[in-house]
């Protein structure tokens, strides 16, 4: 297929690998946005999710909110916030962070919910403080799901950041948006391929991390008489 070979040609063209519009630069930009967003969103969402999961309060509200936020069209949120606040990195980041919160929140509270109530009860009974229970029992046991939340959020952001090229963000999405403007399909396809590759690699890394988290689970076996 000539489209395929054109795309390959585009990808192997050395001029596309240097400069501000080169693949490495865009890739770094993209990963940078992703890392920043996930970091900020984690700081907001994970503690909140842990609190909700541990105390059990506001759970219905949290579930409803995460559900509702999934219904919000990302492009709408992006264009809305950027138009409201102005073009630039910060407004786009705000939108990205907002969209990354649901998976992190859900990962945190459902992770805690997956911990056997009896284990927590036993920990409380032997005299652990709430904080100790959270840090020594709940989080280690919930780690796999919490990491899963981060994984999901990361992929979410990689995808959203691609779309954010429309509101003048850098990153790999630029190839798609700019390519669309000049009807350069090979450019669009090439950019897409790189994004997909990035997504798959990141997903693979996180899958490995999740498995590690699962394997290193401390098993709290009650001492039998």
Q: Which is nearer to another protein, 124 or 180 (CB)?
A: 180
**Least spacing, CB of residue 101 vs another protein, in Å:** 9
Residues in contact with 69: Cβ distance below 8 Å, sequence separation at least 6, in sequence order = 98, 99, 101, 102
Please, which of residues 8-37 interact with another protein by CB under 8 A? Answer: none
At residue 221, what are phi and psi to the nearest 5 degrees?
-95, 125
Q: Which is nearer to another protein, 93 or 163 (CB)?
A: 163
Please, which of residues 54-83 interact with another protein by CB under 8 A? Answer: 63, 66-67, 69-80, 82-83
Tell me the window of 12-20, 102-110, 129-137, 210-218 that interacts with another protein (CB under 8 A): 102-110
Q: Which is nearer to another protein, 102 or 170 (CB)?
A: 102
Cβ contact 100:156 at 8 Å: yes
Question: Does 222 sit near another protein (CB under 8 A)?
Answer: no
Cβ contact 189:47 at 8 Å: no
**Least spacing, CB of residue 35 vs another protein, in Å:** 16
Q: How far apart are alpha carbons 3 and 50 in whole angstroms?
A: 48
Please, which of residues 127-186 interact with another protein by CB under 8 A? Answer: 145, 148-149, 151-153, 155-156, 158-160, 162-163, 166-167, 173, 176-177, 180, 185
**Least spacing, CB of residue 191 vs another protein, in Å:** 7
Q: How far apart are alpha carbons 149 and 91 in whole angstroms?
A: 24
**Least spacing, CB of residue 126 vs another protein, in Å:** 29
Tokens of residue 91, six digits: 């407004």
Q: How far apart are alpha carbons 225 and 222 in whole angstroms?
A: 9
Q: Which is nearer to another protein, 68 or 212 (CB)?
A: 68
Burial of 50 (0-12, 13-18, 19+ CB in 10 A): buried
Q: How far apart are alpha carbons 213 and 208 in whole angstroms?
A: 9
Residues contributing to the site for another protein (CB under 8 A): 1, 3-4, 7, 63, 66-67, 69-80, 82-84, 99-100, 102-104, 106-107, 110-111, 113-114, 145, 148-149, 151-153, 155-156, 158-160, 162-163, 166-167, 173, 176-177, 180, 185, 188-189, 191-193, 195-196, 199-200, 203
């Amino acid at each position: 297929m000539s489209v395929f070979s054109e795309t390959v040609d585009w990808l192997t063209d050395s001029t596309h690998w240097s400069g501000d519009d080169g693949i490495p630069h865009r890739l770094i930009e993209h990963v940078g946005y992703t890392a920043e967003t996930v970091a900020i969103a984690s700081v907001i969402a994970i503690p909140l999710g842990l609190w909700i999961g541990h105390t059990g309060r506001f759970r219905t509200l949290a579930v409803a909110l995460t559900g509702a936020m999934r219904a919000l069209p990302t492009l709408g949120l992006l264009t809305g916030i950027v138009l409201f606040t102005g073009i630039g990195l910060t407004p786009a980041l705000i939108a990205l962070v907002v969209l990354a919160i649901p998976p992190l929140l859900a990962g945190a509270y459902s992770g805690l919910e997956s911990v056997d109530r009896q284990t927590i009860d036993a920990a409380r009974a032997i005299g652990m403080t709430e904080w100790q229970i959270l840090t020594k029992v709940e989080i280690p046991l919930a780690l796999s799901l919490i990491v899963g939340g981060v994984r999901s959020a990361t992929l979410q952001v990689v995808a959203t950041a691609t779309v954010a090229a429309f509101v003048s963000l850098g990153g790999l999405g630029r190839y798609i948006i700019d390519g669309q403007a000049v009807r350069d399909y090979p450019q669009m396809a090439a950019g897409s391929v790189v994004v997909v590759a990035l997504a798959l690699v990141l997903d693979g890394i996180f899958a490995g991390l999740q498995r590690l988290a699962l394997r290193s689970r401390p098993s709290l076996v009650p001492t039998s008489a």
